[in-house]
């Protein structure tokens, strides 16, 4: 029997799955989960070597309505960009470090990491 989280818990559940995957299999150093500000939320903030990475996690049970990564639309990207700027200001990261925006797409039990999924 596989564990299927309740709808309200799905987001947090799959964000945790993504963070473990990024850490253990991709070598990312997870800095923060679910960073929130008035502009929005970023699921995962990590370092990949010397690059600060802002990660959006998208899950779909199947591809009936499209691939998970297709749901990170322009509107969502703009919110992530604004939120990333707030994080960098609050964390004193500075704006001179390399930054990247990735999407972790989870379709059923398959995980795909899309590096540089979008940019400013």
pLDDT in tens, 57-110: 999 988 888 888 888 999 999 999 999 999 999 987 777 899 999 999 999 999
CATH architecture of 7-118: 3-Layer(aba) Sandwich (3.40)
Q: What is the pLDDT of residues 14-38, one digit of tens each?
A: 999 999 999 999 999 999 999 999 9
Question: What span, in angstroms and rounded, lies between the C-alpha atoms of 73 and 38?
Answer: 19
Domain ranges across the chain: 7-118
Give the pTM: 0.90
């Amino acid at each position: 029997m596989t564990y299927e989280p309740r709808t309200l818990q799905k987001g947090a559940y799959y964000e945790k799955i993504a963070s473990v995957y990024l850490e253990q299999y991709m070598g990312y150093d997870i800095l923060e989960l679910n960073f929130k500000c008035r502009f929005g939320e970023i699921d995962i903030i990590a370092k990949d070597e010397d690059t600060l990475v802002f990660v959006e996690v998208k899950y779909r049970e199947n591809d009936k309505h499209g691939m998970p990564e297709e749901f990170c639309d322009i509107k969502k990207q703009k919110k992530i960009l604004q939120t990333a700027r707030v994080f960098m200001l609050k964390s004193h990261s500075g704006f001179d470090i390399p930054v990247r925006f990735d999407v972790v797409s989870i379709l059923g039990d398959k995980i795909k990491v899309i590096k540089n999924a979008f940019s400013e």
